[in-house]
Structure 1
């Protein structure tokens, strides 16, 4: 999967899937810019990754987003790959218990944040005939009994449809737009689900293949979509979920 020589921007890159993606791309010859809100964690995350820098920014702030994309172009002169990975997960609540501010924050980060970075990146991706990879979720594909995270599910479902919209909208510019829908992956964000051995065993059994995923497994899927091997792939929605979505 040839990606060497490209420049990538990864949002939410300081941990979990974003960090694994940054490492995988960098180890395969990509120059990586990671962005996240926590500057100290970002600094620690980039320290041991070759060809990688971190730029702290708040995805909810359009001026921060412009700054990150601008600094990427100023430093490297191009942008080939945008990975819209940043996201937050709310506390599990039924709809009637969700405060409006909680709802707004989840959509602002998970959905509008991806819109902001895509909007700022498009002019530069047009020049390189680059690609966009959106990280959605199985929760955006189907409803799960007892999974009361409506704002999260809504944001991830919207990102799936936006992938298809953007793929059609920018195909004439040779910009490819694809989406990955992970199942439960072992990250900081899923730790509330995995607090006890019992919970971990339950979540493993929920996936037909017998276990939850690892961030590195999602990163490999990102690298495929970013590679020249996927030059004729756009508008694709790829589940990487141990079979969870086909149950």
Structure 2
């Protein structure tokens, strides 16, 4: 198996793309840990997929993020791969109809959350090596006519550039 024994952390791993990644990587032999703020969804996914570990944590809270990473390091000794997958897609609204709180929430989850998790794992990956995968969107690469999700687009475009900056 290609990922035998690799320790992989997937944010937003309880549903959608994150859940599918968890399922695939588990079949490839990885030890997969999923995280989300929704413990009920985490338990359900862990039960469905089997051989999945989970740690509840809110990506918008630095203390939660640090606790998730500490728990994984304590249990497994390392994190080989971080998949920054957690994200939120807001209701479609034109820019002048988005409240400042809605804007901040999208940026905080889709961009700042990736920063928090990356910052938390880097000290451990600097010792042992590892990979970080940031999940973005086509909306972060180009604009679409009548696609009224400006905060989402801005957050995903910023994540694309942040990923490039980190890779240098």
TM-score (norm 2): 0.97
* Equivalence for 1:19: 19
Query: Any residues of structure 2 matched to 1:49-64 within 5 Å, and which?
Result: 49-64=49-64
CA contact (8 A) 1:27 1:50 kept: no
Supply the RMSD in Å over aligned alpha carbons.
1.0
TM alignment of 1:60-75, pairs within 5 A: 60-75=60-75
Does 1:161 pair with 2:157?
no
> Does 121-130 or 131-140 show the bigger shift?
121-130
Uncovered stretches (5+) of structure 2, i.e. residues with no partner: none
User: What is the deviation of 1:56?
Assistant: 1.1
Q: Provide the rounded CA distance (Å) in 2 between the counterparts of 1:104 and 1:22.
A: 28
Contact 1:55–1:68 at 8 Å: present in 2 too?
Answer: yes
Matches within 5 A, 1:1-247: 2-168=2-168
User: 1:22: Cα distance to partner?
Assistant: 0.7
CA offsets per residue over residues 121-174 of structure 1, 9 Å max, x none? 001112221000010000000000000100000000011111111111xxxxxx
- Give me the whole-angstrom Cα distance separating, in 2, the residues matched to 1:126 and 1:8: 16
Distance across 1 between alignment mates of 2:137 and 2:161: 12
Q: Secondary structure at the match of 2:48?
A: coil
Q: Which runs of 5+ in 1 are unaligned?
A: 169-247
Deviant stretches of 4+, over 4 Å: none
Counterpart CA distance in 2 for 1:167 and 1:52 is 29
Report how far residue 5 of structure 1 moved. Answer: 1.4
Shift of 1:3: 1.8
User: How many equivalent pairs are there?
Assistant: 168
Give, in whole Å, the separation in 2 of the partners of 1:31 and 1:50. 11
Higher Rg:
1
Report the TM-score, using the length of structure 1 for normalisation: 0.67
Given that residues 30 and 51 in structure 1 are in contact (C-alpha distance below 8 angstroms), is that contact kept between their aligned partners in structure 2?
no
**Hey, what's the Cα distance between the residues in 1 that align with 2:49 and 2:73?**
20
Three-state SS of the structure 2 residue aligned to 1:48 is helix
Residue 50 (structure 1) shift: 3.8
